[in-house]
Structure 1
């Protein structure tokens, strides 16, 4: 289980969908047509968010165990990140809302004024993880659900949720370090031993896909997306700078 990388499930889904997509035309590449369709983009954005959180979690100390993209249940569902350490067990639900305004009050979370199900989903994940780990160790295991909001423009918390924490990616490590210690080294070892067994989480654990190849293909896709974005920006800038020159030339040619 601990060989899976951040965003693995989302990346697998994205790359599978792109396999059947028609390649961009020559002119599409020249003018910076986006390699992603509107249907693909949320998966791409989600992968970026999970990868960003995964990089942050690499800075946790050796007393923490971090699992990524944990397959759970019987289908294709997964938990973005599972943490086990002195402060307890946490399930992290990553949400990439870069540049957007987020508002939280109790059981309500809104993004740009629209209500989202992030808190409900995070609570459900934590409850599910607690049940599975409790069965895996044959002793009660408490799990805290966390929503990690990536790079929001603003995040206003009017009232904290009673059972789910909401933090930004920048706040995550500090928030974890401020949590009081709950587990002994022995308890951490027992829970970790159960958590790294794929059968603890999924009735029919999926075949492991080589993480290195997924990371390579996603990095390649990311390069294409960034290159296309720069090309579109370049053409737009050229248009904005060139328009006055064209108008001035036409005005001089046509005369008063």
Structure 2
């Protein structure tokens, strides 16, 4: 669902993950409903097409939750539409240390390897560094034009949910951090922007027209996404329940000797 916002609307009112939530729900709306049997056995309600949007939304919501802890000296904008099409910037953060574009990447349980010019996810190359750099340069150009002065923007990639982040070498221009460390990093930076300048930049950033040629913003149905999230969580819980029940059934069917051996192994593995 899309709606043209009134002139009084600013991006300070924009919901976190608004764009990806809207796309997730739109894609999910045309998915084939689960059968009763599929529900019984805990098959996920997410369609294959909706799942990447759902995972992306969870990542942006987690980063937004952590950004809420920043003090009153900071200004944060979420899901900022940019350009001519449907692209957006996950988060724009403005504070005493400067201006930052934050690109959220939700890689649950994945192994991340970081080099000076490459970021690999479970061994596979990505365009994360290039895209984050481009995003920050674009934001710098648009904000500089709106604020009538040069505004440097630092690109940041926040990795959510990764099993491990191995750093071989830090990139020269893009900051890559895990979700649990990036707020502390932001707050540790020296203050270089006066309060008045922070407010001036934030005023420019709050205007949809600063970023997009025809700013028509989507209203994300947060309540509907919450219901979908509860369904996904319930399905996961049900699958785990069936898995545990299956293991218990196998265990109960073992001969006494095998059962004793299995118990000994489990005692070692799970002290």
Q: Which residue of 1 aligns with 2:23?
A: 13
- Distance in 1 between the 2:53 and 2:113 partners? 23
Q: Which residue of 1 aligns with 2:242?
A: 235
Give the SS at the match of 1:159. coil
**1:107-161 deviations in whole A, cap 9, x for unaligned?**
1111111111111110010000000000001110000000000132111222111
- Distance in 1 between the 2:233 and 2:217 partners? 31
Give the SS at the match of 2:217. coil
**1:46-91 deviations in whole A, cap 9, x for unaligned?**
1110000000000000110000000000000000000010010000
For residue 244 of structure 1, report the CA deviation from its aligned partner. Answer: 4.5
**1:146-194 deviations in whole A, cap 9, x for unaligned?**
0000132111222111111001111111110121212111211111111
- Which sections of structure 2, spanning at least 5 residues, go unmatched? 1-10, 256-271
**1:178-215 deviations in whole A, cap 9, x for unaligned?**
21212111211111111000000000111351x5xx22
- Distance in 1 between the 2:217 and 2:18 partners? 12
- Distance in 1 between the 2:109 and 2:35 partners? 31
- Distance in 1 between the 2:14 and 2:87 partners? 15
- Distance in 2 between the 1:59 and 1:244 partners? 47
TM-score w.r.t. length of structure 2: 0.87
**1:224-252 deviations in whole A, cap 9, x for unaligned?**
0010011111112212211344576xxxx
Q: Which residue of 2 aligns with 1:65?
A: 75
Q: Which residue of 2 aligns with 1:223?
A: 230
Give the SS at the match of 1:73. coil
- The answer to whether 1:83 aligns with 2:93 is yes
Give the SS at the match of 1:80. strand
- CA RMSD for the aligned pairs? 1.3
Give the SS at the match of 1:145. strand
Is the 8 Å Cα contact of residues 80 and 89 (structure 2) preserved in structure 1?
yes
Correspondence 1:8-47 to 2 at 5 A: 8-47=18-57
Change (3 A) 1:25 1:132: same
Q: Which residue of 1 aligns with 2:262?
A: none
Q: Which residue of 2 aligns with 1:50?
A: 60
Bigger mean CA deviation after superposition, 52-61 or 36-45? 36-45
TM-score w.r.t. length of structure 1: 0.92
Change (3 A) 1:9 1:208: closer
Bigger mean CA deviation after superposition, 57-66 or 93-102? 93-102
Give the SS at the match of 2:176. strand
Q: Which residue of 1 aligns with 2:195?
A: 185
Q: Which residue of 1 aligns with 2:267?
A: none
Give the SS at the match of 1:92. strand
Change (3 A) 1:80 1:239: same
Number of aligned residue pairs: 245
Q: Which residue of 2 aligns with 1:74?
A: 84
Give the SS at the match of 1:33. coil
**1:14-71 deviations in whole A, cap 9, x for unaligned?**
0011111122111111111110122221111111100000000000001100000000
